[in-house]
Amino acid sequence: MTAIETVEEFRTRARTWLKEHMPPAPSPLPASDEEFAWDRARELQRLLHDGGFAGICFPTEYGGLGLTADHQRAFTEESLPYEMPLLLNVPTLSICAASLLDLGSEEQKRAHLPAVLRGEEIMVQFLSEPRGGSDLAGLTSRADRDGDQWILNGSKIWSSGAYAADYGLCLARTDWSVPKHQGLTLFLVPVHAEGVTVQRIKQVTGSTEFCQEFFDDVVLPADAVVGQVDGGWEAASRLLFHERAALGGASPYSSGARPYLGGEADRLFDMAKAMGRLSNSGVREDIGEARAMNVVRDQLIAHVTQAITTGALPPAAGAIPRLFSAENGWLQTDTALRIAGADGATYTPGAAADTETVGLDYLFRAAWSLAGGSTEIARNVISERVLGMPREATGDRDVPFDQVPHGR
């Protein structure tokens, strides 16, 4: 039996390989709504795969390395100075592929996970709906059985990168005669199938990364079901567990920098220094607070991850670092704007201070309140599923969904 490579041996090998094969990280990062950025991400993922550093925590039978979260953490630390396929971290690797690993049939896992790790397939989530808000179980997109097939109709929204994806994990209603959580099924939907239309949504930042999808009589085979028919809520709950882990920084399935966790405070120091503002005591205090928050963030991620792994905390505790990371993201963007001042809105190419993305990051800060489920939902999860507090009262609990009033 071959001995597993130690974390330090793996770190040393990764350090050497990264230096020899990966280009330095670009600054700023390419916009996530540019076609070339997704093509580049696929290329970089293939480079990692061919070099033996893709899917570090995925099982070997599905193309991964079968190593531990400590190995992944070591690789991530070594990879920070280099260009990495960050666009594939969320949601392809850390949410969709991780969910397929937990829920998919053997055929689904063998067909899709190696392709994901080679950079050949990009996966996204089709969960939220235009009329649904945070009530995911109240969705009305439907899949009706037609012999051995399913016919999908409806619409999804706020799907990051759907226009560049190959497959989407789509939650649809398959039984309207039971309460809303019981009649759902999760499907693996080809994004380019006949009847699927993807429209990009322009945000206040100018980005068109988010998308809305329309499904018009999309024919899906029986083997498109992920998990069990009418067992979609359990499947979606597992997917949301991986989403909270990803956006809280606790996922073992992604590599490279984690800008969605608030970034690193070194950027604030460098910006303040370049602008000659380090002599300001208020600026130094802001940078100190930002650094302290990142230390707490990393320690909280490690603590909660360990507690979930050992069973000391339930999986729902992943909502804790997810909530903290959102609040840290707000603090980091607010701090950057205070330091940059007017330069955050009037960046000049070639300026000494790197303030190019400060204003856009601030405009986008509200997204961290919503990604992975709103912060309000995260607080509910923590109170109800971690602390054991009473659930919120709802008027549609245990009511067949076809008897619940809609559109009022």
Domain parsing of the chain, residue ranges? 7-89+103-120, 125-237, 258-386
Q: Quick check: 1 pLDDT over 60? A: no
d(CA 185, CA 206): 34
pLDDT surpasses 60 at 131: yes
Mean pLDDT over 71-87 rounds to: 95
The pLDDT value recorded for residue 345 is 86
pLDDT tens-digit map of 323-341: 998 899 899 999 999 999 9
In this predicted structure, the answer to whether residue 316 has a pLDDT above a threshold of 80 is yes
Number of Cβ atoms within 10 Å of the Cβ of 273: 14
pLDDT of residue 156: 97
CA-based torsion, 30, 210, 138, 325: positive or negative = positive
Fold that domain 258-386 belongs to in CATH: Butyryl-CoA Dehydrogenase, subunit A; domain 3 (1.20.140)
- What local confidence, expressed as pLDDT, does residue 263 receive? 63
pLDDT attached to residue 262:
59
Given pLDDT bands bounded at 50, 70 and 90, which one contains residue 4?
confident
Alpha-carbon distance of 336 to 267, in angstroms, equals 9
pTM: 0.89
Cα–Cα distance for residue pair 108/91, rounded to 1 Å: 18
Interacting residues of 32 by C-beta distance below 8 A, sequence separation 6+:
87, 160, 161, 207, 209
Q: In CATH, what number does 7-89+103-120 get?
A: 1.10.540.10
In whole angstroms, how large is the CA radius of gyration of the chain? 22
The token pair that represents 292 in the structure block = 């302290």
Chain-wide mean pLDDT for the chain? Answer: 92
**Residue 320: CB partners within 8 Å, gap ≥ 6?**
248, 300, 304, 382, 386
Cα 408 to Cα 405: distance, rounded to the nearest angstrom:
7
Degrees (nearest 5) of the Cα angle 97, 153, 213? 55
Distance CA(369)–CA(107), nearest Å, equals: 37
Which pair of structure tokens corresponds to residue 405?
């009033």
Question: Which of the four pLDDT bands, split at 50, 70 and 90, describes residue 12?
Answer: very high
Whether the CB-CB separation of 109 and 62 falls below 8 Å is answered with yes
Of 200, 228, 212, the closest CA to residue 168 belongs to: 212
State the average pLDDT over residues 27-37: 80
**pLDDT higher than threshold 60 for residue 2:** no
pLDDT digits (tens, 9 = 90+) for 264-273: 667 899 999 9
- pLDDT at residue 394, rounded to an integer: 83
pLDDT > 90 fraction of the chain, expressed in percent and rounded: 74
Question: Per the CATH hierarchy, to which homologous superfamily does domain 125-237 belong?
Answer: Butyryl-CoA Dehydrogenase, subunit A, domain 2 (2.40.110.10)
From residue 398, how far is each of 1, 172, 395 by CA, in Å? 53, 19, 9
153 strand-pairing partners:
142
Mean pLDDT value of segment 232-250: 90
pLDDT digits (tens, 9 = 90+) for 153-205: 999 999 999 999 999 999 999 999 999 999 999 999 999 999 999 999 998 88
Strand-pairing partners, residue 400, are 179
**pLDDT for residue 350 is more than 90:** no
